[in-house]
Structure 1
Amino acid sequence: MRAKITYTVTAAVLVVYFVLVGSRGVLLIQHGTPITVAFGLSVLVLPFIGVWFLWKSTRFVTKANALAAELEAEGGLPVDELVRTPSGRIDRDSADAVFVKRKAETEAAPGDWRCWFRLAVAYHDARDTPRARKAMQRAIALHEGKPVQAETV
């Protein structure tokens, strides 16, 4: 719940920022000189890129959360078997051991979105965010029945 609130607050702050930046771009365009119009148009591009990125990220998070809820309903969420340091951080060797197990499961069933979901969690626990995101995107695509290219784990 805390993560949802944080995400919502961050998204709201970004939207306010996009509006402020966009208004500055409009003011520059209204000034009317060739340089200010060029700068104004350039400034207006930034909020559009930001809104697009925020939209894509929100869709990704929503779909990943839906997969997590479905997997939880099936009783298939990965069990937290990780060793933690006294401060609460995940022990690297423990995360690597779980990752090896999840990788083997995914290699055995490469068309199962559930395996890819659990692999994404293992990548995240091993602090490999880019691969975690890619594995989660694959889980989402498989769940939605979209064609995916054969890829190594």
Structure 2
Amino acid sequence: MSKTKLWVGAICLLLVFYLVVMVQRSFTLMFVSPEWQAKLLGAAYFLVPFVAAWALISEVLFGARTEKLAKILETEGGLPEDTLPRTPAGRIVRAAADAEFEKYKAEAESAPDDWRSWFRLSCAYDAAGDRKRARKSMRDAITMFRAG
């Protein structure tokens, strides 16, 4: 198991512990405190762990599904190579990433139903610094993979 997975697991366990404590505190506020304001705050506080648990589960599933697709592409030899030039600080040179992006954008447009092209487009978006579109493209790739 990789170091990253161990850290993610540890952070998830800490978050779950925190969410359990939050649920316990919300019950205390709702059922022990005599003031109506505390009861109302406890009820609102009770919802937070469920929203956080949903976010945690969706992010872990997103990561696991992304890793699964990456392993499939790796065995097929279809992962994009990281050959982009970098600055002395280690950041990808933006102009090179933008030029590389166009190649993957054209590939995704020519094969709109192929999850592999959307996976590679997601990597290109990420290299170009557009994380929002990178995640959207990866979600599209995951949906296409799961559908067919």
Which band: TM-score by shorter chain? over 0.9
Distance 1:22 1:127 in 2: 38
Report what 2:129 is aligned to. Answer: 127
TM-score of the aligned structures, taking structure 1 as reference length = 0.90
RMSD of equivalent CA atoms: 1.3
- Cα–Cα, structure 1 residues 95 and 6, in superposed 2: closer, same or farther, change >3 Å? farther
Please state whether the residue corresponding to 1:77 is helix, strand or coil.
Answer: coil
- Cα–Cα, structure 1 residues 2 and 126, in superposed 2: closer, same or farther, change >3 Å? farther
The C-alpha deviation readout for 1:18-76, integer Å capped at 9, x for no partner, is 12221211111122432222111110100010001101111111111100011101111
Report what 2:69 is aligned to. Answer: 67
Please state whether the residue corresponding to 1:20 is helix, strand or coil.
Answer: helix
Report what 1:42 is aligned to. Answer: 44
% identical equivalent positions:
41
Residue number among 71, 77, 80 corresponding to 1:78 in the alignment: 80
Unaligned runs of 5+ in 1: 147-153
Question: Shift of the alpha carbon at 1:2?
Answer: 3.6
Please state whether the residue corresponding to 1:87 is helix, strand or coil.
Answer: coil
Distance 1:6 1:105 in 2: 35
Report what 2:28 is aligned to. Answer: 27
Aligned letter for 2:83?
E
Unaligned runs of 5+ in 2: none
TM-score of the aligned structures, taking structure 2 as reference length = 0.92
Structure 1, 26-35 or 41-50: larger mean CA deviation:
26-35
